[in-house]
Every structure is written in structure tokens, then in C-alpha cells.
């Protein structure tokens, strides 16, 4: 029997993820606050719902990737959508939200006999389009295993079970720590290479397979060289995640993360300059401001659409 999926949030990440589920043969209903963003999915056969509560009705799986925790709470709980979920269904929240909020949502849904998996992702819009996202899932193991058996994860990427409710969010925050520090180091290394006389475009292939290699270098490094700052992951969301990292670190007895704090402050300064929609590879712009007239790449900047 074809499984029915409700997908809420069809923006930069959600639209290609939902499209991949449709292509994999799932029956998909979609909702988005800006209805026009659902039109390409409707053309692929998705049912467009007027509101979240209608979207989740009769769905075996409810997936969402929304901006932040308060939006998740508003869309699923304040709207009453959680009351329309079928008993035994599985809610897979792929937004990046605080771990404590994920545990709270899991407890509220358990009262209605609905399973909850917090399953944030890494890989950006490119990974969403390719179906190659890293998916970090927390929650009851049988729900994760059922989603695996039903083939829900595979069209979107590679899923790993991280532990009980909230642990998917913890894993995502660990990911964001590593990504933040890596983006900062890649930007500094590439600008250093350019000013020192090495060809920046040769750095990613030259370092491939070495200890300095990373997906950040191979993807975001090329974005920096091309000066393409259209968002795969916008700065505003990255600041939100790093704020959650620092708050959670304090809660678990890790109050000092000095490098993360400094990188977060730089991203916040860029957001305050009006660059909140730029991709987080725009960390490069901060370095160039500090070291003017140093500049990486000869072409003009490509800002968000």
C-alpha cells in the first residue's frame, strides 16, 4: 500500500525534498505559508492543502522543515494540526530547533498516540535536490525503523538514529559547530592563498583527500571563489542555530566555546548589515572588510534572488 505523506514547508529545502518523495512514489500532500511555492509540486501530482490541519489528515507520515521552533509550534500545535494526526502516524520534524523543545513536542504527541522523530538535516539546498542529505534522527527506535522499512528516508538522503527524543537536534548542533568553524577556516585559507600568490581555484582540488579536505571546502569554497552568495543555508538561520548551540552548551555544562562564540558574533554582525539572506559562505565578506582592499575572486558578487 502506498504510504501517504504530508509535507509542510516547501521553501529552499522543503520543495526539493517533497519532490523527491513524489518521484519515489509516495502520495504527497503539501502546505506552505506562501502558496505559490507549492505550485511546482502540484504540477508533479501533489495535493495542495489550504492549511496545516487539512494537510496532515490521513497521513501516515507528517514531515516538515520550517524556520525555527516557534514556527513549528505555531504550525502544528497552535493551529490544531496535531489534533488531526492519525493515531499511530509518525511526525518527522526536520527543522533545527532547541533539543528541549523537540522533547516537549514528542511528549505532547505521545499523548495522542502519535510518534515523533526530531530529524534535522545537513547538506543545504544542493543536498536536498540531490537526495543526499545527512539526516540525524532522535526519538523512539521503532518509529525510526518503520520509516526506514517504508522507504521514507531514502529519497531525501542517509538517516542515522542518534538516540532518544532531542538527540537528533543535539547531533545537528554538533554539526553546526563543525560547519561554522570550517567555513571560517576555509574563508581565511582561500584569502590567504590569493594574497600570497597561489591560485585559489586550485586549492580545493589540490587539497582533495588530504587532512584539510571537506565538503565545506569543495562546495562553499567554490562559492566564495565565484562570489556566489545565493543561499543554500542563509546567515539568519545559521545565527539562530549558533545561538541554540551556545544556550544548549551552557545547559549541559559546557559554558565556554570561544571559537564558536567568535564565529557566531561575526555572522550576527553580517546579518545586522542586512546580509541575513546571504549564504553563510559570505563569512568571506567579513574578512575582506577587515583586510580591505583584499578580495577573493575577480567577478561581481551574486546576492540572493
Does residue 76 share a domain with residue 33?
Answer: yes
Same domain, 159 and 266: no
Higher pLDDT, 121 or 1: 121
Asked whether residue 123 falls in the same domain as residue 239, the answer is no
Instruction: Note the pLDDT tens digit of each residue in 224-258.
Output: 999 999 998 899 999 999 999 999 999 999 999 99
Residues carrying an active site annotation: 172
The answer to whether residue 185 sits within a structural domain is yes
Q: What is the CATH number of the domain that holds 154?
A: 3.40.50.720
Q: Report DSSP letters for 87-98, one per residue.
A: TT-EEEE-S---
* 178 and 261 share one domain: yes
> Using N-to-C axis directions, what is the helix angle for 167-196 and 258-270, rounded to 10°?
70
Looking at the structure, tell me whether residues 140 and 184 fall in a common domain: no
Find the domain containing 34 and state its range.
4-164
Cell numbers 504530508 correspond to 6
**Number of independent structural domains in the chain:** 2
Residue 272 lies in a domain: yes
- Say whether pLDDT at 270 is over 70: yes
Q: Would 296 be classed as within a structural domain? A: no
pLDDT for position 298: 86
Is pLDDT above 90 for 58? yes
Q: 41 and 154 share a domain? A: yes
Residue 153 pLDDT more than 70? Answer: yes
The mean per-residue pLDDT over the stretch 276-294 comes to 96
Boundary of a domain, candidates 123, 146, 164: 164
Q: Is residue 137 part of a domain?
A: yes
- Give the residue from 164, 189, 204 where a domain finishes: 164
> pTM of the full predicted structure?
0.93
Cα within 13 Å of Cα(242), Cβ side: 24
The pLDDT, as a whole number, for residue 2 is 81
Which grid coordinates belong to 88? 499511530
On whether both 284 and 157 belong to a single domain, the answer is: no
pLDDT at 178: 96
- Do 253 and 194 lie in one domain? The reply is yes
Instruction: Single out the residue in 107, 135, 164 at which a domain terminates.
Output: 164
- One domain for residues 97 and 151: yes
Q: What angle do CA 183, 18, 236 make, to 5 degrees?
A: 35
Q: What number is the average pLDDT over the span 92-114?
A: 96
| Cα 138 to Cα 143, 237, 247, distances in angstroms | 10, 21, 20
**177 and 160: one domain?**
no
The closest alpha carbon to 106, from 62, 165, 66, 162, belongs to: 165
**Local confidence band at 100 (pLDDT 50, 70, 90 cut-offs):** very high
Q: How much is the mean pLDDT over the chain?
A: 95
Instruction: State residue 1's pLDDT score.
Output: 65
Same domain, 179 and 222: yes
Provide, rounded to the nearest whole percent, the portion of the chain with pLDDT above 90: 93
Rounded to whole angstroms, how far apart are CA atoms 71 and 61? 19
Does any domain span residue 214? yes
Cell match 551552557: residue?
250
Same domain (yes/no): 59, 202: no
| Average pLDDT over every residue of 282-304 | 95
Amino acid at each position: 500500500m502506498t504510504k501517504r505523506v504530508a509535507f509542510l514547508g516547501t521553501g529552499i529545502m522543503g520543495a526539493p525534498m517533497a519532490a523527491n518523495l513524489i518521484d519515489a512514489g509516495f502520495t504527497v500532500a503539501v502546505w506552505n505559508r506562501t502558496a505559490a511555492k507549492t505550485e511546482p509540486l502540484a504540477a508533479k501530482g501533489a495535493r495542495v492543502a489550504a492549511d496545516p490541519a487539512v494537510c496532515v489528515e490521513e497521513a501516515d507520515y507528517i514531515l516538515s522543515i520550517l524556520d525555527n521552533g516557534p514556527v513549528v509550534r505555531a504550525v502544528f500545535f497552535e493551529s490544531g494540526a496535531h489534533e488531526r494526526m492519525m493515531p499511530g502516524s509518525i511526525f518527522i520534524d526536520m527543522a533545527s530547533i532547541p533539543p528541549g523543545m523537540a522533547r516537549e513536542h514528542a511528549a505532547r504527541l505521545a499523548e495522542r498516540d502519535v510518534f515523533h522523530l526530531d530529524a534535522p538535516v545537513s547538506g543545504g539546498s544542493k543536498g536536498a535536490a540531490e537526495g543526499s542529505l545527512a539526516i540525524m534522527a532522535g526519538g523512539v527506535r521503532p518509529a525510526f525503523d518503520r520509516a526506514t522499512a517504508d522507504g521514507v528516508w531514502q529519497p531525501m538522503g542517509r538517516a542515522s538514529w542518534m538516540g532518544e527524543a532531542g538527540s537528533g537536534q543535539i547531533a545537528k548542533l554538533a554539526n553546526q559547530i563543525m560547519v561554522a568553524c570550517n567555513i571560517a577556516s576555509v574563508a581565511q585559507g582561500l584569502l590567504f592563498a590569493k594574497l600570497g600568490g597561489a591560485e585559489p581555484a586550485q586549492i580545493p582540488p589540490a587539497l582533495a583527500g588530504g587532512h584539510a579536505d571537506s565538503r565545506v571546502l569543495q562546495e562553499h569554497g567554490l562559492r566564495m571563489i565565484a562570489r556566489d552568495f545565493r543561499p543554500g543555508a542563509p546567515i539568519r538561520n545559521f545565527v539562530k542555530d549558533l545561538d541554540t548551540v551556545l544556550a544548549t552548551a551552557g545547559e549541559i555544562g559546557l559554558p565556554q566555546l570561544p571559537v564558536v562564540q567568535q564565529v557566531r558574533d561575526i555572522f550576527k554582525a553580517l546579518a545586522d548589515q542586512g546580509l541575513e539572506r546571504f549564504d553563510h559562505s559570505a563569512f568571506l565578506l567579513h574578512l575582506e572588510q577587515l583586510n580591505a582592499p583584499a578580495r577573493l575572486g575577480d567577478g561581481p558578487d551574486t546576492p540572493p534572488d
